[in-house]
């Protein structure tokens, strides 16, 4: 038995290096297909868990995306400027209503950031005029 590597590659996902023809036929996917889909690269545990995760579930509590049974993606979205976080459809798969809401949210965020910058400028001006830190 091979020692744990901490990652896997296309050959591992395809079932490993088996010379036995019957074993290779019994595997669900072959190495060439894995490479075509995922590329010829190293896959570490978090990505592997997401790849193997059942639809409508998150692979880990830290996962930032999930695939629904209908194939659409949900992604975790955080907006620190307005202190909001939550799950939304990935923009390329979002329903029209969500895209309209996201445009409105982006406009509000832009406005919040504008006023935060204005407040910071006033604070700097106040400090410069008085020579002491202002509020």
Give 81-110 pLDDT, tens digit per residue. Answer: 888 898 999 888 788 888 888 888 889 889
Range of the domain at 25: 1-52
pTM attached to this predicted model: 0.58
What kind and span of H or E run contains 75? strand 73-79
Q: What's the pLDDT tens digit per position in 74-83?
A: 999 898 888 8
- 73 in Cβ contact with 66 (< 8 Å): yes
1 versus 121: which is more confidently predicted? 121
- The number of beta carbons lying within 10 Å of the beta carbon of residue 42 is 13
pLDDT number for residue 16: 81
**Residues 111, 117, 123, CA angle at the centre, nearest 5°?**
140
Share of the chain above pLDDT 70, in %: 93
H helices of 30-95, where? Answer: 31-38, 45-52
Look over the chain and give the mean of its residue pLDDT values, rounded to a whole number: 85
Neighbours of 30 (CB within 10 A): 16
Bridge partners for 89 per DSSP:
74
Q: Is residue 79 part of a domain?
A: no
Selection from 115, 113, 123 nearest residue 81 by Cα:
113
> What is the number of domains present in the chain?
1
Confidence of residue 33 (pLDDT cuts 50, 70, 90): very high
> Within a domain: residue 15?
yes
Q: What was the pLDDT predicted at 93? A: 78
pLDDT of 134 > 70? The answer is no
Please check whether residue 11 lies inside any domain of the structure. Answer: yes
């Amino acid at each position: 038995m091979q020692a744990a590597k901490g990652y896997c590659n296309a050959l591992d996902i395809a079932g490993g290096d088996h010379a036995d023809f019957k074993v290779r036929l019994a595997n669900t996917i072959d190495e060439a297909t894995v490479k075509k889909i995922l590329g010829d690269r190293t896959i570490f545990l978090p990505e592997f868990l997401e790849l193997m995760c059942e639809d409508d579930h998150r692979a880990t509590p830290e996962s930032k995306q999930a695939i629904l049974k209908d194939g659409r993606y949900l992604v975790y979205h955080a907006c620190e400027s307005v202190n909001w976080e939550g799950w939304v459809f990935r923009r390329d798969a979002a329903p029209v209503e969500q895209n309209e809401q996201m445009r409105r949210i982006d406009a509000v965020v832009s406005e919040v950031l504008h006023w935060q910058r204005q407040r910071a400028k006033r604070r700097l001006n106040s400090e410069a005029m008085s020579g002491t830190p202002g509020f």
